[in-house]
Amino acid sequence: MKINRLINQPFVHLGIAEALSDRAFIEAMIDFELAVLEHREQNQLIPKNTFQQSKHALDIELFDIDAIGAQTYLGGNAAIPFVAQAKSLLPSDVRPFFIKH
């Protein structure tokens, strides 16, 4: 199941929805969460090196995009399976600082 077919409709033009691949969508989610971590670290809200550890661990190649798509279809929300997979990829000492905004 395509993530973009589930979350973009009916609010996004079909042409835009088709141009957004599932991979691009997950990459955007990773980029957003890394930007949040980087900002929090720069403002000394989380331990030093949390951003770099997270950036290293959250490689798009390690995500099971098909599984996120299937779970998005079942739950109607891509964030839930994304966060579960992302947290499983992070070192245990970094996990508490992921998705706290």
Position 11 scores a pLDDT of: 67
Percent of the chain with pLDDT over 70: 83
Look-up of token digits 């929300």: 77
Confidence of residue 36 (pLDDT cuts 50, 70, 90): very high
pLDDT over threshold 80, residue 96: yes
CA 90, CA 98: separation in Å to the nearest integer? 9
Mean pLDDT of the chain: 87
Structural tokens at position 74: 């079942």
